[in-house]
């Protein structure tokens, strides 16, 4: 949805209701080159400059432009499946 919704709108909606369920709220994850793995702002102390966006939008763009997905986005097995001609990625 691009920037139509506030990034954590799905978290905030639970503040409006008392449903006797404690939601687990996770912040956006990213690949940190210095950590060498997926991380979030809670687990990674490094500056944002070394972080890679791992959004589905980036995966779709990489597939459309060159057919290759950077290894920090998905593992090789998943990348191979996504390159199959009958796989359709939707928003």
Please name every residue paired with 60 in a beta bridge, in sequence order, or none if there are none: none
DSSP state string for 46-84: S-GGGEE---HHHHHHHHHHTS---TTTS-HHHHHHHTS
Mark the segment that binds Zn ion (CB under 5 A) among 7-15, 17-25, 33-41, 67-75.
Answer: 33-41
Sheet holding 30-32, edge to edge: 37-39, 30-32, 51-52
38 near Zn ion, rule: CB under 5 A: no
Give the interface size with Zn ion as a residue count (CB under 5 A): 5
Binding residue for Zn ion (CB under 5 A) from 11, 29, 35, 70? 35
Mark the segment that binds Zn ion (CB under 5 A) among 4-12, 15-23, 32-40, 70-78.
Answer: 32-40
34 near Zn ion, rule: CB under 5 A: yes
Nearer to Zn ion, 51 or 79 (CB): 51
Binders of Zn ion in range 52-91 (CB under 5 A) = none
Polymer length of the chain: 91
DSSP 4: S
Site of interaction with Zn ion (CB under 5 A): 32, 34-35, 44, 46
């Amino acid at each position: 949805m691009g920037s139509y919704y506030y990034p954590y709108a799905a978290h905030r909606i639970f503040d409006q209701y008392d449903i006797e369920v404690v939601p687990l709220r996770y912040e956006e994850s990213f690949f940190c080159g210095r950590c060498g793995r997926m991380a979030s702002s809670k687990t990674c102390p490094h500056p944002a400059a070394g972080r890679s966006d791992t959004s589905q939008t980036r995966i779709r763009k990489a597939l459309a432009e060159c057919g290759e997905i950077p290894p920090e986005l998905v593992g090789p097995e998943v990348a191979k499946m996504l390159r199959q001609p009958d796989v359709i990625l939707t928003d």
